[in-house]
Amino acid sequence: MAALIGGAIGVGSTLLAGAQEEQENPGEATIETPDWTKIAEQASPSVAAIQVGMNGEISGLGSGFVYGDQGHVITNNHVVAAADAPGGEVQVVLSTGATVNAQIIGRDPETDIAVLDLEQQPEGLTPLPVGQSSELEVGEPVMALGNPLGLADTVTTGIVSALNRPVTTTNIGENPTEQDVALTITNAIQTDAAINPGNSGGPLVNGTGEVIGVNSSAATLQEPGSGGQGGSIGIGFAIPIYQATNIADQLISTGEAKHPHLGVSITSSEVEFNGISRGSAMVSSVSGGSPAEQAGIEDGDHIIAVNGTAVNSAVSLQAIIRSQAIGDTVTITLVRGGQQMDLQATLASE
């Protein structure tokens, strides 16, 4: 379980042009060979440090970024949840030094996404451009921006280390005065860009400066319950932007978020197919009238992939389904009676 962290195209030249052209035209920055200096300069004004207070005293720090043109800021639920109570307050500090009070207009512990509404919009406030997390590739360069350890306007770079990484964390639930715990399951982007406490809620951007993920957690060697904070060990996780903006748009529109479901009870298992044993999510029951029943999924089926992404446990299936949107049609690959088959399921609201 991850810990919450409140994370080349070369020069075009001909043989005749040779070194002289290389010196005169060293090449343009691309998504594979980004100009990080330029990207940091362009993105930083849209990134915010978030200060969470209770009764006038700062009690937590995090990060966020401007989304849309109405003065909204996306961050993590675990960054601001404690302020969603009497006496709680949130301030957003921009790169210009401007400090703006903000209201929590919605938060979702199950996906760890929250949206803030700025009480005032400073002049020149611009949103980050939103990219396509579905188009990411392992090895692609990325940059994390935010407020690690209270050090505002910090950037770190790395690569996409893995995609579709099932990550579970515990999160503050809907009543923070009781410290309820909700289980957040993310089909995460894994990166080796340094992510530390305080980076939570900040953007992960690609080589063209588009936000493709929301930094949310990091693996740590810190023993649970030992006190203190573990530092970055090069394994950080971000919520894909497709999922983050889907939830954010719902929170902005209605103040609450609904999640897709397949309608099955599952357990982690293994299944043998073509002489090879592999992990699976075994269906123990199917809810009546659910997308799973309508798709023809049956008790005892072993689900091994969704939309071509491998499923090797119950958590990985939950992570993939949760990363979709209500109404999405997905291809479920399963093994039944030694035979592999593909079924189509249209996800419904829980």
Is 78 marked active-site? yes
Is 265 marked active-site? no
**C-alpha distances in Å from residue 21, one per residue of 13, 17, 24, 29, 33:** 7, 6, 5, 17, 19
With residues binned 3-state (H G I as helix, E B as strand, rest as coil), the percentages for the chain, rounded to 5, are 15, 45, 40
The answer to whether residues 213 and 244 touch, using CB atoms and an 8 Å cutoff, is: yes
DSSP 158-199: EEEEEEEEEEEEEEE-S-TTTT-EEEEEEEEEEE-S---TT-
Pull the structure tokens for residue 46: 């849209």
Cα-to-chain-centroid distance, residue 33: 23
Q: Can you give the length of the chain in residues? A: 350
| Rounded Cα gap, residues 82 and 10, in angstroms | 49
The catalytically annotated residue of 46, 63, 161, 200 is 200
The catalytically annotated residue of 72, 78, 259, 302 is 78
| Rounded Cα gap, residues 167 and 216, in angstroms | 10
Is 200 marked active-site? yes
DSSP 198-240: T-TT-EEE-TTS-EEEEEEEE---SPTTS-S-----S-EEEEE
The catalytically annotated residue of 112, 192, 261, 316 is 112
The catalytic site residues sit at 78, 112, 200
